[in-house]
Structure 1
């Protein structure tokens, strides 16, 4: 069992050593530290970089030295990864950064539509039904563009909208089929993400509807706990192990890593 999606203090998680120690204690064979990064220069994203520290483009070399030290100390594979915020307008900047940084793998994710974080309900509560549907359309346009860009080994929480009550349940089978088709034609693979699986919401990404279509299109999947705290890792690892056993899934490693 390997967890390809945890965060550390190099973005919005806990100390790097604490996260790796928790991964080892949970019995993992490997853990991927994939801190957030945003390379957009627009005002909203510049604010996110400043407030939340989503600036791994400035700190990845220092984090890499820390990972190298931990590799000597801990008996598990530790992957040097990144979770990039994706926007079609930023493709050139993302491609340049990833080529320069040389991570073990890169995760792509869509968090914002029109400058609004899709996980914040208040951003959409005053919208009309038609406006909310337009946000959902835009989200899946961006997600498909992410997959088609071939910039990333993994796509994170590919139906993130389900976390947000004003947007939940608005995705259609046409949206999901379009995403599944894009994955079937790409090297990018979606993850089974447990970031909200043990919360009150009980949400697993992807949803049953989308997961069914991914299986119909014979799309491989990987796994990630999306943990930000050491205490989150053990329970989420156990959940994922049970989930893949019950569903009969056989998760794979990202391209270029040992299977």
Structure 2
């Protein structure tokens, strides 16, 4: 079973390629299921006053969904398209997020923490935000947000759960308790996580999450899906063979897939 549930396209401002180019690429590489999952519009900052190219404008959200739906129908005999959204969790803005999540018939919604306040910890242009910070305290704040995201009931799985490590900033203290607490919260909420292979092309050079976190997730029975987090059509499916190999080494035999906000597990 070849799937890729985490993709982005030109509407978000920092990716390339049209939705149809991703669909055609998915067919070319033999995907059975392709998840289209672009970023939710920014809700907590004024896009005109923030950094450019962060997310799709709010006025583009309806056309994004409509285009996904049209492509799903157009290519239904060649690839199974699932319509998704990467829905940022931003503490204090839960109701605004919920209106978007509940306003469309998504197949799935990814719960991802990118922002701590107005600081996007995943943006290479904002790494100066780490300066003069207590790194362990930032990790505590991040994983607290992940736990709160899981508890909202708005999401189907948690995306790149340890993306906080992306640029290689790691505290001297052991963060295993923070990571395990976050996974325990995911388990309690009945959610899945993703193995996001894109970490292999970031400074940390490790998938999200780490093998240790995946082993703990497997131990407590958390389902997992996979995603390339592709921002260019040619990167669709990138490193997913390595991801599937790692999952099999740990003991996973099934992947989580999603349709109409319901989770299904398939052998791979």
Shared fold (TM-score greater than 0.5)?
yes
Distance 1:99 1:234, change over 3 A: closer
Distance 1:200 1:2 in 2: 25
Return 160-169 or 210-219, whichever deviates more.
160-169
1:149 aligns with 2:152: yes
The structure-2 alpha-carbon separation of the partners of 1:199 and 1:115, relative to structure 1 and needing over 3 Å to count, comes to closer
* Partner secondary structure for residue 39 of structure 2: strand
Deviates most, 221-230 or 211-220: 211-220
- 2:140 is equivalent to residue 137 of structure 1: yes
Q: Structure 1 residues 132, 216: closer, same or farther in 2, change over 3 A?
A: same
Aligned partner of 2:116 among 104, 113, 116: 113
Q: 2:106 aligns with which of 97, 103, 106?
A: 103
2:208 is the counterpart of 1:205 = yes
> Cα deviations across residues 132-191 of structure 1 (Å, max 9, x unaligned)?
221111101101000111110011100011112233675611101211211111132110
Query: Alpha-carbon deviations, 1:168-222, whole Å to 9, x = none?
Result: 6756111012112111111321100011225564211111222122122111111
Displacement of 1:242 in angstroms is 2.7
Cα separation, 2, equivalents of 1:202 and 1:96:
36
**Higher helix fraction (1 or 2):** 1
Question: When the two structures are superposed, what TM-score results if normalisation uses the length of structure 1?
Answer: 0.88
CA distance in 1, matches of 2:60, 2:139: 33
Look up the match of 1:58: 59
Q: Tell me which residue corresponds to 1:7.
A: 8
* 1:220 partnered with 2:223: yes
Supply the distance in 1 between the matched residues of 2:162 and 2:114 (Cα, whole angstroms).
Answer: 10
Equivalent pair of 2:45/2:118 in contact (CA under 8 Å):
no
Larger mean Cα displacement after TM superposition, 73-82 or 229-238: 229-238
- Size of the aligned set, in residue pairs, is 254
Partner of 2:35: 32
Structure 1 position 47, deviation (Å): 4.2
Q: Which runs of 5+ in 2 are unaligned?
A: none
Gaps of 5+ in 1: none
The answer to whether the Cα contact below 8 Å between 2:192 and 2:256 also exists between their aligned partners in 1 is no
Deviation for aligned residue 1:85: 1.4
Please give the residue correspondences for 1:168-183 in structure 2 after superposition, counting only pairs within 5 Å: 172-183=175-186
TM-score by length of structure 2 reads: 0.85
Asked if 1:256 corresponds to 2:262, the answer is: yes
Deviations 1:205-251 (A, max 9, x none): 11122212212211111111111111112433333333333333122
Measure the CA separation in 2 of the matches of 1:86 and 1:180.
Answer: 16
